[in-house]
Amino acid sequence: MTVYYVVNEGLVSDNLLSGLFMWISFLYAWQFLEFFIVFKDHFFSKPTSGYEQTANMDCPPATAVIVAYLPNEADIIMETLAHFRAIEYDNELQVILAYNSPKILPVEQDIAKLQKAWPQFSAVKVAGSTSKCDNVNEVLKNIKGVFVGIFDADHLPLPNSFQLAWGDLSRGADVVQGRTKINARYVDSALSHIIAAEFEVRHGLEHHTRKSVYGYAVFGGSNGFWRTDALQAMGMDPAMLTEDIDSSVRAMSYGYKITYNHHLISLEQPPPSLHALVKQRLRWSQGWYQVSWRSWFSIFSCEYLSLRQKIGMHWMLKMLLPLQVLVSAGQSFTLVTLSSQLGFAIVFMMTSVWCIPQLLFLFKFAEVPSFSTKLLYALNVLPLLMFFMVIDMIAQVRLMIGYSTWHITSRKKVEEDRPPLSPSTFRYSPSSVHLSSEVVERGPNHL
């Protein structure tokens, strides 16, 4: 259904224009207030890396669960396992590979050999599994650690991730979500450069805003650490396209506390093509709508969440179908009305103001492969907004017609002539992941 607005200059009262300007001013003021708080945390407060709190801490046994669909990740899984084997932790670190595969693959022989050589490692092939949820749920009973980190097969966390995560969990959190950066080894196209910058903005602004402004966070599906009892109590729902957001919302409704740690960094691959990106973001968008439609009442009636946190969950209300229709109609009416009075160019500039916080954060704090990456994102930020708007519309239609096919995000192997990832790739600082040679030699406890 298409709605056409015909706005006559004589029908637009001064009161209506004043109301529209007040509403737009309120939205911009709210957004810039959010940005100022995040900007202060990044710049004025000079946050430390977190080593000071964990240097002399007694850490309990921990578990890492790596989730894989091996036909898709057979080329990278051994490198990922090698990375986890090299992680330093002050106590026992159990590593579980939970995977599914419709056929026997040659890499499974290498995995079997690794189990014999690495006592802390076990691999579980989940029969009948069709999703990441099935794999995680199957190994919940095998977890020995007091807390557990969940990782996708392409994720390479910082060497001290488990120690940093325990620092947050020991201070009262039940779940801590880390920051994800795009692995620079896979940034080899214009699209991957844009995605790398977008991830910096997404994690630096969106995730940090939830924590700093509203006092909550969400589990992002990977590089997230749970208290084992909390994860076993919540589990993962295979019916949900974004099982991570669903488990987050359910956990919060039961009183579990989720926080976000900007220094808890893991590298992941970007989608290798535009087609893969579209499939990934369609699933993400549809999954967020799915969670909102199912869980909004339990969140806003929850006794465990403060008013501040419930205000921060306003995105759930915006995703409900009736409000989506009202919001879309209101936005369309506002744009048409203002354009008829002020001209399209001025209204376009007004609606583009929201980009300023993103670009300020990107150029001031974000660490991406090069300055040209930042510039490329800046030039494409408005087309990217339009792309996400189209994705959202398609996702809503899919949800309404009951389309719920899970599309795997494809992975690719680094060319053989590229150097392997080593600890020297990282450095620990409030907004970066490069580890200086001094840290490699002396170790994190000396920071």
Residue 88 lies in a domain: yes
Q: Cα separation of 398 and 401, whole Å? A: 5
Q: Which two tokens stand for residue 280?
A: 């990934």
Predicted local confidence at residue 229, as pLDDT: 97
DSSP-assigned letter for residue 203:
I
9 lies in some domain: no
Reduced to 3 states, what is the DSSP secondary structure of residue 290? helix
C-alpha separations of 366 from 174, 363, 432 in Å: 28, 6, 8
pLDDT at 49: 52
Rounded-to-integer distance, Cα 272 and Cα 275, Å:
8
**Residue partners of 223: CB distance under 8 A and separation at least 6:** 149, 150, 151, 155, 157, 161, 177, 178, 179, 180, 264, 265, 266, 268
Provide the residue range defining the domain that includes 274.
48-311
Q: With respect to residue 393, please indicate whether it lies within any of the assigned structural domains.
A: no
Residue 221's pLDDT is what? 93
User: Would residue 241 count as lying in a domain?
Assistant: yes
pLDDT confidence of residue 30: 76
Q: What is the pLDDT of residue 169?
A: 96
Q: Is 443 inside any structural domain?
A: no
What's the CA gap between 186 and 392, in Å, rounded? 27
pLDDT of residue 203: 84
Tokens 């936005």 locate to 331
**Sequence letter at residue 250:** R
Assess contact for 398 and 282: CB atoms under 8 A: yes
Q: Does some domain include residue 330?
A: no
Residues in the chain: 447
Token duo for residue 274: 């535009």
Distance CA(145)–CA(228), nearest Å, equals 7
**Those residues with Cβ within 8 angstroms of residue 276's Cβ, 6 or more apart along the chain or in another chain:** 409, 410
**Residue 140 within any structural domain of the chain:** yes
Burial code of 413-433, b = ≥16 C-beta within 10 A, e = fewer?
ebeeeeeebeeebbbbebbbb
User: Residue 115 sits in a domain of what CATH number?
Assistant: 3.90.550.10
Residue with tokens 């048409």: 336
Q: Is residue 1 part of a domain?
A: no
Question: Per residue of the chain (447 residues), what is the pLDDT tens digit?
Answer: 444 444 444 445 666 666 666 766 777 777 777 777 777 776 655 545 555 566 677 899 999 999 999 988 999 999 999 999 999 898 999 999 999 999 999 999 999 999 999 999 999 999 999 889 999 999 999 999 999 999 999 999 999 999 999 999 999 999 999 999 999 899 989 999 999 999 998 887 888 888 888 899 999 999 999 999 999 999 999 989 899 999 999 999 999 999 999 889 999 999 999 999 999 999 998 888 888 888 888 888 889 999 989 888 877 666 665 565 566 556 556 666 665 666 556 556 666 666 777 888 888 878 887 888 999 999 998 889 889 888 888 888 888 887 777 667 767 665 555 444 433 333 333 333 333 333 333 333 332
Structural domain count of the chain: 1
pLDDT, position 51: 55
3-state helix, strand, coil split of the chain in percent (to 5) is 55, 15, 30
Q: Give CA–CA dist 318/156, Å, rounded.
A: 34
Q: Within 10 A of 21 (CB to CB), how many other CB atoms are there?
A: 13
Which of 341, 348, 336 minimizes the C-alpha distance to 385? 348
- For the purposes of burial, counting CB atoms within 10 Å of the CB of 3, is it exposed (0-12), middle (13-18) or buried (19 or more)? exposed
The pTM of the full predicted model, rounded to 2 decimals, is 0.82
